[in-house]
Amino acid sequence: MNNSFEIGPVHVGAGQLFLVAGPCVIESEAHARKMAEAIQRITSDLGIPYIFKASYDKANRTSVKSYRGPGLIEGTRILGRIAKDTGLPVLTDVHESAHCEVAAEAVDVLQIPAFLCRQTDLLVAAGRTGRAVNIKKGQFVAPWDMTHPVEKVRSTGNERVSLTERGVCFGYNTLVVDYRSLPVMRALAPVIFDGTHSVQQPSAANGVSGGQPEFIPLLARAAVAAGIDGLFLEVHDNPANAKSDGANALDLKLLKPLLENLLAIHKAANSAS
């Protein structure tokens, strides 16, 4: 593994497990702030570095009727305010090249959605902002082929790139995680494991995606044991009523015990290596 870097106080690829977590989408300013502060208290107690995440626009929802978020201007205002008030680094998705500069003024990490991981103009625009860029591996892409998206960002002179595993297509409406992808991609850039989208069942619930959140701890434990740099979790205080991806989100009340378990596994794995 190479190319470690910093995102504020978070050292990516430096050996310490960090967390990226928050609701899928900004549902309201009050809710986003509540989630950021609640997760911050948990991670502070456990000593795990934390990056807050939420999307201002989910442009790839299954149905045209689905809630997408408050939009670029209002959404980045909310994210920027949360970053300022909490001191947390913040991550958000970008779906369009034209959004990158505006989003970069408010957040610390620009995330490239899995479906867009091959979009050259988007990757280059994100890289040119100088912000850290997290690229989600497409459900249709082999792990070794992620060298090309990484190279597209680095062609801008921006070396702060990470990759995220979030499962691969396996038949209709099903994803599966191939843990061999983790060391393969970790040779290219620091690797984050997305434990919530990996249990998603895309487009499986009558116009929205379903999920099997009961398997989040199992997949996360295996990923930490296999060797990762960071963990990505969509976390919600009321998943049943979440406006996006509630079916595969981790309930906030389950976060602390899961992280305690994962930190113990991480410590054991590092001491054995």
| Mean pLDDT value of segment 57-84 | 91
Inside any domain, residue 251: yes
Residue 34 is assigned to a structural domain of this protein: yes
Residue 77 lies in a domain: yes
Instruction: Give residue 140's domain range.
Output: 16-272
Whole-structure pTM over 0.75, yes or no? yes
pLDDT score of 214 more than 70: yes
DSSP code of 229? S
What's CA 201's distance to the chain center, in Å?
17
Residues for the chain: how many in total? 273
1 in a domain, yes or no?
A: no
Quickly count: other Cβ atoms within 10 Å of residue 137's Cβ.
24
Whether residue 53 lies inside any domain: the answer is: yes
Q: How many helices (H) and strands (E) does the chain have?
A: 8, 15
Mean pLDDT of 243-269: 95
Number of domains in the chain: 1
In a domain, 31, yes or no: yes
Over 50: is that where the pLDDT of 1 sits? no
Which tokens in the block code for residue 31?
Answer: 């809710």
Please, what is the average pLDDT of the chain? 94
pLDDT of 61 strictly over 90: no
Which CATH number belongs to the domain containing residue 172 in this structure?
3.20.20.70
For residues 247 and 142, the model is more confident at 142
- Residue 241 located in a structural domain: yes
User: What's the pLDDT band for 44 if we cut at 50, 70, 90?
Assistant: very high
- pLDDT above 70 as % of the chain: 97
Does 139 have pLDDT greater than 90?
A: yes
pLDDT at 247 (0 to 100): 87
